[in-house]
Amino acid sequence: MNEPFELIPAIDLKGGKCVRLQEGDAGRATEYGDDPVAMALHWQSQGARRLHLVDLDGAFSGHPVHLEIARAILRSIRIPVQYGGGVRSVAHVDELMEVGAARVILGTVAVEHPEVVEASVRRHGSDAIIVGIDARDGEAAVRGWVGRSGMRAVELGRRVADIGITRIVYTDVSRDGMLRGVNIAETERMARETSLKVIASGGVAGPEDVRKLSDRREVGIEGVILGRALYEGRLSLPEALRAVGLPG
């Protein structure tokens, strides 16, 4: 693949603050700052080419909660932002696109109301709409990772590909925020068996995880979301960029 491997810092919002959850558990949140705009500017200054913004309160409530923070971030930075969390309708997607999100991530609704995903792709194009597939033991999780869908994650990948999705974020929930390393085997399986472009998420512990994922670009893994490892200094963004051959 000719496109550079993407390293995407995450800002997860809960109560208006920057946090990271462990295994998707809202009761196991660590705060990393109370100024999301400053955090976004920091990652931009460190070399980020895209930002991953997640409204955790929205994911649990079922509707976007932190639109004002999203607006403030989008006004303040130059790099594109992908936004997810509680996006359950075409109207939600429209609102996020109007405030300036480059990509909108649909999760629960892809399982419960795939027609919303299909309509959003028709309205905004496949580059603008991503599905977030969050897996526990191979099964797609829903509603802020607390619900079980009864559907295998790979099967969900195939279904959304059939309705026009070309890119997903794939998260192994059991590894998210745990610094245990990425579930590379399942991430690669998702890419191979669905032919989707896959952004990996969950468990990055250091530059070796980033290199291993980058080495699998040929199967369709095109990037990785970086969270706790960045916030706790296990990995610097310039270091991660250099690990995949980009200036950092």
Task: Say which of 134, 172, 176, 209 is annotated catalytic.
Answer: 134
The DSSP H or E segment spanning 106 is: strand 103-106
- Tell me, yes or no, if 134 is annotated catalytic: yes
CA-wise closest residue to 169 among 237, 107, 90, 231: 107
Q: Which residues touch 153 (CB under 8 Å, ≥6 apart)?
A: 133, 135, 138, 139, 140, 170, 186, 190
DSSP letter string over 27-51?
Answer: EEEEEEES-HHHHHHHHHHTT-S-E
Q: How would you classify the pairing of strands 129-136 and 167-172?
A: parallel
- Tell me, yes or no, if 137 is annotated catalytic: no
Residue indicated by tokens 């610094």: 179
CB-CB contact of 155 with 119 (8 Å): no
Task: Say which of 12, 57, 176, 209 is annotated catalytic.
Answer: 12
Q: Which residues are catalytic?
A: 12, 134
